[in-house]
Amino acid sequence: MMQSDLQTLIDSEEITFSHIPVLSQEVITGLNIHPGGHYLDLTVGGGGHSRLILEAAEDVKVTAVDQDLDALKAAKDNLSEFGDRVNFIHSNFANYHFPDNTCDGILADLGVSSYHLDNADRGFSFRNTANLDMRMNQQQTLTAGDIINEWDEKELADIFFQYGEERLSRRIARRIVEKRPFQTTTELADAIAYSVPPKYRHGRIHPATRVFQALRIAVNDELKVLETLIEKAPLALVPGGRMVIISFHSLEDRLVKHGLRNSPMLKVLTKKPIIGGEEEISQNVRSRSAKLRIAERVVAV
């Protein structure tokens, strides 16, 4: 094990993962879990959904993937009672070698976990001062700081516009380039706030919100890996096997909607995305923007 992995595991002893899985009943029904089945949880996080899958029927097995070592450690602790019914894999799901025709169901609960957002050190949120990091996989080299401090103005404006749907992308990019280098999340958020008109500065959401979303997507190449996932994963399903994907913003949901619909291996079972009910939303803020879509592997391709 590399020294950095070891340090991460030691450090992560201090931190806790929240285990409130979003749309949990809908995920279990969507996956159509049956005894002895093999399910692939591509985003195991703290293991909340995996636990429900393992408990849903006799002798179910789960392959649990995550690119974040902190998440894998939390999931291992949370799921230890299931012993060798769970196999843990540290990988980006886009690089995972999907086994042909062996899975009864695949789950992807996309994006970052509340652990990532709440854990100041990871640099995902501007609520706390932290280095501009935002890597889900701590072994990756590219950080948000590299993008902000090194990419040229046009590239920055493009990602703010494409990944953050930020109307003031050019103006914000210009200001960032004038004021850089930036070290921390809060320095960057303040500079963004001062680059926009006062009306916008005191609006419903913090003016840095969209830029932070854009940076996170760029650092983790989130749209590209999602495309790869939708292309590769259906092959791993047995005929009749289900794929359930939960997305959290419109760019992802659009990709999921079209990707599932255009796959010759899949039949889409959800005309419209499934969203959380009022009760769930009041208990779990993350579910407010969650959209779940389900598709089934067709028999012949």
Ligand X SMILES: C[S@@+](CC[C@H](N)C(=O)[O-])C[C@H]1O[C@@H](n2cnc3c(N)ncnc32)[C@H](O)[C@@H]1O
Instruction: Provide the minimum distance between the beta carbon of 239 and ligand X in the complex, in angstroms, as a whole number.
Output: 26
Q: Which residues pair with 64 in a beta bridge?
A: 41, 88
The rounded distance, in Å, linking the Cα atoms of 71 and 92 is 12
Taking CB under 6 A as the binding criterion, the range among 42-50, 121-129, 185-193, 201-209 that sits at the site for ligand X is 42-50
- Of 31, 39, 62, 113, the one binding ligand X by CB under 6 A: 113
Note whether 260 binds ligand X by CB under 6 A. Answer: no
Q: Which residues pair with 41 in a beta bridge?
A: 64, 107
Taking CB under 6 A as the binding criterion, the range among 8-16, 88-96, 117-125, 156-164 that sits at the site for ligand X is 88-96
- Of 136, 159, 260, 266, the one binding ligand X by CB under 6 A: 136
Note whether 259 binds ligand X by CB under 6 A. Answer: no
Residue list 214-243, contact with ligand X (CB under 6 A): 225
Note whether 280 binds ligand X by CB under 6 A. Answer: no
The rounded distance, in Å, linking the Cα atoms of 224 and 221 is 6
Instruction: Provide the minimum distance between the beta carbon of 138 and ligand X in the complex, in angstroms, as a whole number.
Output: 10
Name the residue nearer to ligand X (CB basis): 71 or 233: 71
Taking CB under 6 A as the binding criterion, the range among 41-49, 255-263, 265-273, 276-284 that sits at the site for ligand X is 41-49
The rounded distance, in Å, linking the Cα atoms of 45 and 43 is 6
- Of 12, 28, 38, 43, the one binding ligand X by CB under 6 A: 43
Note whether 195 binds ligand X by CB under 6 A. Answer: no
Note whether 253 binds ligand X by CB under 6 A. Answer: no
180 exposure class (CB count in 10 Å sphere: 0-12, 13-18, 19+): middle
Name the residue nearer to ligand X (CB basis): 67 or 263: 67
- 295 Cα distance to chain centroid: 19
Note whether 145 binds ligand X by CB under 6 A. Answer: no
Instruction: Provide the minimum distance between the beta carbon of 182 and ligand X in the complex, in angstroms, as a whole number.
Output: 24
Note whether 92 binds ligand X by CB under 6 A. Answer: yes
- Of 30, 37, 111, 276, the one binding ligand X by CB under 6 A: 111
Instruction: Provide the minimum distance between the beta carbon of 106 and ligand X in the complex, in angstroms, as a whole number.
Output: 13
Name the residue nearer to ligand X (CB basis): 195 or 253: 253
Residues within the interface to ligand X (CB under 6 A): 19, 21, 43, 45-49, 65-68, 71, 92-94, 109, 111, 113, 136, 225
